[in-house]
Amino acid sequence: MKGKKIKIAGVLLVSTMLAVTSLAACGTKTTSKSTGSSGSTTTVSASDMFTKRDLDSGYDESKATKIKLSDSKTTVSGDGAKFSSENGVNTVTITNEGTYILSGKLNGQVVVNTDKTAKVQIVLKGATVSGKSTAAIYVKQADKVFLTLAPNSENTLTETGKFASDNSSTVDGVIFSKDDLSINGTGLLKISTESGHGVVSKDDLVIASGTIEIKSSGHGLQGKDSVRIAGGTITINSSNDGIHSENKDDSNLGFVYIKGGTIKITAADDGIHSGNNVTIDGGTITVTESSEGIEGQSIDINGGKIDVTSSDDGLNAASPSTGNDNTNQGPGGPGGGGDMSVDENAYIKITGGEIHISAEGDGVDSNGNFDVTGGIVYVEGPSRGGNAALDFTGTGTISGGVVIATDNGSMLQSLTAQSGMNTVVLNVSSSSASEIVVKDSSGKVLGTLKPSKSFNNIIVSGAGVSESTISYN
């Protein structure tokens, strides 16, 4: 995003190891980002993440160039674009700023190659583009491209074969942009690829609206500088990460920001992965299958409804150099042996939202601190040993909200209660209870968890909770 590049820096979080506490034997929101070691914060709002044009999918059809796709018989009506068919290769090339409406079918490629200041709007209005060993839509150069899904339209972009390099880089996405890319509209876009990623931007990638279905052998959505989602309905089936942002050239970039939308991810690797920060302010996010559900150097959850299923960690915060190797706990439980170092840039902070986690690794794993100030967090920890429902190398605190977790007990950690909160840990002797109900001291139900696997401990943190306000059967 030229002229308005938002950089999200890490936060310095240093504290001591937290011991398990309170063991009881018994049968448009804004986002605060910390920057630098001083702990100062910069408030980032949705207006910083999305431009007015990102959110406006309108266009003037009377002034647009119309491109009727029909393989070698493709026609262009208007200025700023040309068509060529040479040696069986069909190519539409957009060379000027403007709005271009595409309809019909093309076995070939749509290329955007304008000057560096041009903003281009491509409207897909019942368009099918099939690329062979290349991107269906390739933004070679522009300032920014807006891909608009026309109302009541169904559009399909596919790639078959193996992606080839284009001198300076490998073009490895069905939609591949070297510059800023924004997708909006109310139509449907189906994307599939045999050998690469679904949508790639080497700058910022914005999803403002629309219905998008992606099936990819690589990442589903990838933005080098950032991935920003304002809304829409997004379904991703990926053989790598569902959503991925990482910038190895600038550690302040490579972040994921989600304001809203309905997102469903099935991923062979991470559901959502950032080399920097993941912030979720709203939306409905379901990760039905993943290695790690949501991973970043830091994670801020301020709202939304999130449901994560993972074969490893549900939420994981670790600097890219350290990965998810949180070995703070040696034999004997918390505080015993292992590497006690705290990752000063890693943290997980939850201020709101409803979060459900079912993990076979750690449910919540922070190589730094883990803090809850609001919202409700349900965690089904692993049934096997060696991992825990809650795992943090720094401090773990709760000053608002509710946490309800089940744990196998092999590496048990719980949160330090602050500001009138309580933490209770129950030993329930390998219970397979079908329902856990947590109330406060007045009898108000704070939350209900229906575990899907066996556990040895129930961990509850919240205001007014005690052993007597927790029931399970």
What does the pLDDT look like over 410-460, one tens digit per residue?
A: 899 999 999 999 999 999 976 668 899 999 999 999 999 999 999 999 999
Nearest to 52 by CA among 182, 199, 151, 142: 182
What's residue 158's pLDDT?
Answer: 98
Considering the chain, what percentage of its residues have pLDDT values greater than 70? Answer: 85
Q: How far apart, in whole angstroms, are the C-alpha atoms of residue 342 and residue 362?
A: 17
DSSP state of 52: H
19 compared with 8, residue with greater pLDDT:
8
255 compared with 4, residue with greater pLDDT:
255
What's residue 334's pLDDT?
Answer: 31
Nearest to 464 by CA among 26, 27, 447, 449: 447
Q: Is 435 exposed, middle or buried (0-12, 13-18, 19+ CB in 10 A)?
A: exposed
Please state, rounded to an integer, the average pLDDT across all residues of the chain.
88
Q: How many CB atoms lie within 10 A of CB 151?
A: 10
What's residue 38's pLDDT?
Answer: 28
Q: How many CB atoms lie within 10 A of CB 362?
A: 29
What's residue 338's pLDDT?
Answer: 37
pLDDT tens-digit map of 65-87: 999 999 999 999 999 999 999 98
Per-residue pLDDT, averaged over 280-300, amounts to 98
pLDDT tens-digit map of 158-185: 999 887 766 667 899 999 999 999 999 9
Place of tokens 């749509």: 110
pLDDT tens-digit map of 358-395: 999 999 999 999 999 999 999 999 988 899 999 999 99
Q: Is 233 exposed, middle or buried (0-12, 13-18, 19+ CB in 10 A)?
A: middle
Phi, psi dihedrals of residue 440, rounded to the nearest 5°: -90, -175
Q: What burial letters (b/e) apply to 118-134, b meaning 16+ CB within 10 Å?
A: bbbbbbbbbbbbbbbeb
Nearest to 441 by CA among 456, 427, 459, 462: 462
Place of tokens 């001083």: 38
Please, which residues bridge with residue 72 across strands?
A: 70
**Order of strands across the sheet that contains 436-439:** 445-449, 436-439, 470-472
What's residue 166's pLDDT?
Answer: 67
Q: How do the domains of the chain map onto residue ranges?
A: 62-235+243-263
Q: Is the pLDDT of residue 115 over 70?
A: yes
What's residue 15's pLDDT?
Answer: 28
pLDDT tens-digit map of 18-56: 333 333 333 333 333 443 332 333 345 677 999 999 999
Nearest to 460 by CA among 2, 26, 7: 26
What's residue 391's pLDDT?
Answer: 98
Contact 292, 270 (CB under 8 A): yes
What's residue 36's pLDDT?
Answer: 34
Contacts of 444 (CB under 8 A, 6+ apart): none
Q: How far apart, in whole angstroms, are the C-alpha atoms of residue 123 and residue 118?
A: 16
Give how far Cα 235 sits from Cα of 232, 265, 271, 454, Å: 10, 6, 12, 31
